[in-house]
Amino acid sequence: MADVLELKGSGPMRLFTPNLRLKTIYDLPLSWLKERHVRAILTDLDNTLVPWRDYRVADELAGWFRDLHDNGFRTVILTNARPSPTIQKMSEELETQLVVGARKPVQRFFRRALERVNASPAEACVIGDQVFTDVLGGNLIGCYTVLVERIGHREFFGTRLMRVLERRVLRSVNRFRVEPEPGHGGSEGSE
């Protein structure tokens, strides 16, 4: 799990602290989700699954969704992007649910996404590339949260401004690193 950084926030920074920081969605350990009884994945779209506004489905991405579904996870793409036929087509190809035109971190859009996958917040994990939309919104509603590195460098102008603040927040949340237990071998937790 070289590209997996586990964090446990505290105090006022807790809401901005993801449970995991990963390089890409492909580093998401399914065992980590299963240990926490996560059943649903709410994932951001732009710069998390694909480069900004490039809604083509790569084989690797299709395989990632297939693997999640084969493992019993339900999925929904939760995006602030405006509805478009290309995004609709993409979600159909990936056989995933879709909530478009959201305004993350506004909570009602997270609730709508949770309804689509019929999961409670505690059973769901939010994945995204932004602290102030994906991580904050997911933490507010009580989901597990995973921050990935953005795929590309192109993004909405407003997002670029937020990145300045985000870098400062991320420097401080990295203090909350959870050190792996020595000899931890993925033991099964008892119920």
Residues in contact with Mg ion by CB under 5 A are 44, 46-48, 129
Shortest distance, CB of residue 46 to Mg ion, whole angstroms?
Answer: 4
Output 51 or 123, the one with its CB closest to Mg ion: 51
Output 92 or 149, the one with its CB closest to Mg ion: 149
Output 47 or 97, the one with its CB closest to Mg ion: 47
Let me know how long the chain is. 191
Four-CA torsion 87, 89, 94, 99, nearest 10 degrees: 40
Residues 6+ apart with CB under 8 A from 121: 110, 114, 141, 142, 143
Output 39 or 173, the one with its CB closest to Mg ion: 173
**DSSP states of 12-79 as a string?**
GGGGG--SEEESSGGG--HHHHHHTT--EEEE--BTTTBSTT-----HHHHHHHHHHHHTT-EEEEE-
Shortest distance, CB of residue 190 to Mg ion, whole angstroms?
Answer: 37
